[in-house]
Amino acid sequence: MNASDPARLRVYKFGGTSVASTEHLSAIAQLVAKDYQDGARLVVVVSAMAGETDRLQALARTLCPKPSPRELDALLSTGEQITMALLALALHALGCPARSCTGGQARIRTDHRHNRARIKNIDGTALLKALQKDHILVVAGFQGIDEEGNITTLGRGGSDITAVALAVAIGAGECRIYTDVDGVYTADPRIVPEARRLAQLSHEEMLELSALGARVLQTRAVEFASKYNVPLRVLSSFDPGPGTLISSEEIPAMEQPIISGIAHNRDEAKLTLIGVPDQPGIAHKILGPIATHGIEVDMIVQNIGQDNTTDFTFTVHRRDYEKSMDILRETATQLGARDVRGDNAIIKISVVGVGMRSHAGIASRMFAVLAEQNINIMMISTSEIKISVVIEERYLETGVRALHQAFDLEQKADPLPRSASTG
Amino acid sequence: MNASDPARLRVYKFGGTSVASTEHLSAIAQLVAKDYQDGARLVVVVSAMAGETDRLQALARTLCPKPSPRELDALLSTGEQITMALLALALHALGCPARSCTGGQARIRTDHRHNRARIKNIDGTALLKALQKDHILVVAGFQGIDEEGNITTLGRGGSDITAVALAVAIGAGECRIYTDVDGVYTADPRIVPEARRLAQLSHEEMLELSALGARVLQTRAVEFASKYNVPLRVLSSFDPGPGTLISSEEIPAMEQPIISGIAHNRDEAKLTLIGVPDQPGIAHKILGPIATHGIEVDMIVQNIGQDNTTDFTFTVHRRDYEKSMDILRETATQLGARDVRGDNAIIKISVVGVGMRSHAGIASRMFAVLAEQNINIMMISTSEIKISVVIEERYLETGVRALHQAFDLEQKADPLPRSASTG
């Protein structure tokens, strides 16, 4: 068995709270050292120590209100560089032959887009060579270099993407994302105390869950893992356990739950243009100016109104609410709409599950459950494996709990007897 | 006139206390921006913000008592990387087109010796290209990369060396070292209030002064500047003035002072082996074990003793005193010496000046002045342009003041009418 055997090859990623102090780093080092001594060959990706990125950003903004993206990348990349060197040292203290690599040293090539670069390619050869020498590689997450040698960063959640991309580059058998929670839950345990950790999920389901506001993994990282079929495992840095495995492995139909989980997202605000003359291209005329201002639109609903007019509703992130309202008021005048209305006290609840594909009636069941609780549904959006509704914010807890119970999510000890081991 | 005109091309270096806070960085940026707007084309070398290197080293030692040199370099190099990005941002805020470069990005190639690497070469082409585009380059000092792309650091005073090496690589007309003092003085002003800032010095003199404990410049940087004939100017970051120019330019004999300055060094301890049988190779037998332990020896004196024996005295850094005594006691037993004596309450005073070459009698004048003060001379060492004596520590102030007065160092307003301008 050699080091490039996928069963032994793994990538681990530790986020900011897992490396918040030297004590945390020592604990992480013990976890890594144990698996290494058990025969695993490891690439470990680290984020900046919690608070460091904010500290550096504050320094930058003190000197320059709008820091140049290139210099900001050179600055922020030091956060991960510090962690990588410190973790390598903590591993040395345990007798493990660790070597640190910056993004550039790990040959993580990106495009030129500073602060939100995309990885173009990673030359895994040098990394595999080092792994063959039984080194543990500690790689600075979140960063790379462009063709001209400029330091780039990948933007939010970049370290997760680094980990998945490295797993692809070296052909790792598993990519483990260590966080401060011990896995992915059927719902947010702070809202539903009976929420249960899922043993297994598909990439698709995780993609929907993370896009819907379950903050365990960054959407881009899950997309990447899905595209290259990398098994991901979400687990806790300090609380041993099997975590949640996210893979493309088919789950036998018998064991397959219809619904995997209930997600919610508070980061929503709703805007409606009322009585706009219904004409071709109206959606573009309304959303064009919003997009031009770099504002992301989530859900869109168009109703047929009276008198050949239409009502057009969409949601945006809450931070973009005021600005979107201003833009929409201007658009309303131009298009001769009757009124503009907004509401930023709304939330989105979604039920997600690949089982929906083979089970009809999930949507009507969901609507019935909410109706029983007297919760009014404002918007609906569906995909093959999820149904989302927008409701008033004050019904968040009631709605999530009722759905969690209605879909039997808390009942079974573990719906997947093939509970993934950490082996 | 183009950007590679040496008269316009300059390297500036700012040390840790000059970049200690964002306020300091803003002040530095103003200084740089002004010279840039006046037509200078600048490469600016920066150190880590004061305290940052110590903070990182402490973190490393918490995790690993003997941190690996490679990881320590990866860690410590972030200190300068943070400063370079912040200074570039501060320059942007003033409308200056600044670009930061790490040691690697500036193509500063070193050997493999982590923590004390030596620069092998710098490819100045890319730097000159950027300067032709009217960019201000802000380079992280103290660091480089080796042939395999590992991050290396240059050891103490490394940023001064980076600055001088960059000045050589781009053919700069002057390398300015900005510090917290406004130049090189005839003596330490804390000891001699009448001490005077020197307008000009030769590389040789500065080399002797820095080796003798005048802490303004690192010896290695001065050696480098001397070898490649780079004019250096020492000046204050926050106190405008011409500073002290250090160059190989001949000073007309009429204007030439005999003595440029009085240096002193408290970091001395003296060890003597008494009554060791005088035989060939005895110096090596005594100093070999000292060198093996990595202890640096400064002055060495051998006297002929009685009965075909000799007394052998040398000085070391004070931090090495106890260890050196232990080693010497063992050597004494092996060689059958009569006694071992030590004294760590001694200091060294030196008079330095290229004018000594053409003026006899400086040494005897020095000894006479000390004798008048009843100061006993324990050891003497001379070079072409300096005379050093070791005396009891308690006579430090008396000795330095008496010599400063005796050699007329405080009398003239400025002994060099060609006072260097900052232009």
Residue type, B104: G
CATH class for the region spanning B262-406: alpha beta
Give the per-residue pLDDT at B3. 54
Tokens of B341: 């004596």
Report the distance separating Cα A246 and Cα B385, nearest Å.
75
Mean pLDDT of A301-312: 80
CA B369 to chain CA mean position, Å:
28
Give the per-residue pLDDT at A397. 95
Give the per-residue pLDDT at B136. 97
| Residue whose C-alpha is closest to residue A109's, from A162, A77, A146, A161 | A146
Report the distance separating Cα A124 and Cα A238, nearest Å.
30
**Out of A64, A93, A150, closest to residue B92 by CB:** A64
A166 near A172, Cβ under 8 Å?
yes
User: Is residue A183 classed as helix, strand or coil in its secondary structure?
Assistant: coil
CA B156 to chain CA mean position, Å:
9
A134 near A98, Cβ under 8 Å?
no
Give the per-residue pLDDT at B254. 59
Please judge whether A67 and B82 are an interchain contact, meaning their C-beta atoms are less than 8 angstroms apart: no
Phi, psi of A275 (to 5 degrees): 65, 50
Interface of B with A (CB under 8 A): 22, 25-26, 29, 56, 59-60, 62-65, 67-68, 70-72, 74-75, 77-78, 81-82, 84-86, 88-90, 92-93, 99-100, 102, 104-105, 149-151
- List beta partners, residue B314: B271, B300
Question: What band does A252 get if pLDDT is binned at 50, 70 and 90?
Answer: low
Question: What band does A422 get if pLDDT is binned at 50, 70 and 90?
Answer: very low
CATH code of the region B9-180: 3.40.1160.10
Question: What band does A1 get if pLDDT is binned at 50, 70 and 90?
Answer: very low
**Out of A22, A72, A89, closest to residue B71 by CB:** A89
Tokens of A389: 């509704």
Q: Which residue has the higher pLDDT, B100 or A4?
A: B100
Please identify which residue in the block is written with the tokens 């036998």.
A252
Residues A22-59 have pLDDT tens digits of 999 999 999 999 999 999 999 999 999 999 999 999 99
Tokens of A107: 């040959």
Give the per-residue pLDDT at A419. 36
A361, with CB counted inside 10 A (0-12, 13-18, 19+), is exposed
Give the per-residue pLDDT at B218. 83
Domain ranges of chain A: 9-180, 262-406
Residues of B in Cβ contact (< 8 Å) with A88: 68, 71, 74
Reported ipTM exceeds the 0.85 cut: no
Give the per-residue pLDDT at B384. 84
DSSP B212-281: TT-TTS-HHHHHHHHHTT--EEEEESSS-S--EEEE-PPPPGGG--S--EEEEEEEEEEEEEEEEE--TT
Give the per-residue pLDDT at A4. 60
* Mutation for A interface: B46, B62, B73, B101, most A CBs within 10 A: B62
Give the per-residue pLDDT at B395. 95
Report the distance separating Cα A100 and Cα A139, nearest Å.
6
Phi, psi of A300 (to 5 degrees): -135, 130
Give the per-residue pLDDT at A256. 66
Separation in Å, CA A99 to CA A29, A130, B72, B101, B284: 13, 9, 11, 24, 41
Give the per-residue pLDDT at B44. 98
Please judge whether A68 and B88 are an interchain contact, meaning their C-beta atoms are less than 8 angstroms apart: yes
Please judge whether A64 and B89 are an interchain contact, meaning their C-beta atoms are less than 8 angstroms apart: yes
pLDDT beneath 70, residues of chain B: 1-4, 213-214, 251-256, 305-306, 411-423
Please judge whether B63 and A84 are an interchain contact, meaning their C-beta atoms are less than 8 angstroms apart: no
Give the per-residue pLDDT at A304. 73
- Residue A197 has a CB neighbour count (10 Å cut-off) of 18
B86 near B27, Cβ under 8 Å?
no
Mean pLDDT of A278-289: 86
Question: What band does A339 get if pLDDT is binned at 50, 70 and 90?
Answer: very high
Q: What is the dihedral of CA A198, A201, A207, A213, to 10 degrees?
A: -10
Q: What is the rounded end-to-end Cα distance, in angstroms, of chain B? A: 16
Residue type, B140: A
Give the per-residue pLDDT at B420. 36
Residues B317-332 have pLDDT tens digits of 999 999 999 999 999 9
Strand bridging mode A232-236 / A174-179: parallel
Mean pLDDT of A161-182: 95
Give the per-residue pLDDT at A3. 54
B97, with CB counted inside 10 A (0-12, 13-18, 19+), is middle
User: Is residue A401 classed as helix, strand or coil in its secondary structure?
Assistant: helix
User: Is residue A418 classed as helix, strand or coil in its secondary structure?
Assistant: coil
Tokens of A193: 């105390």
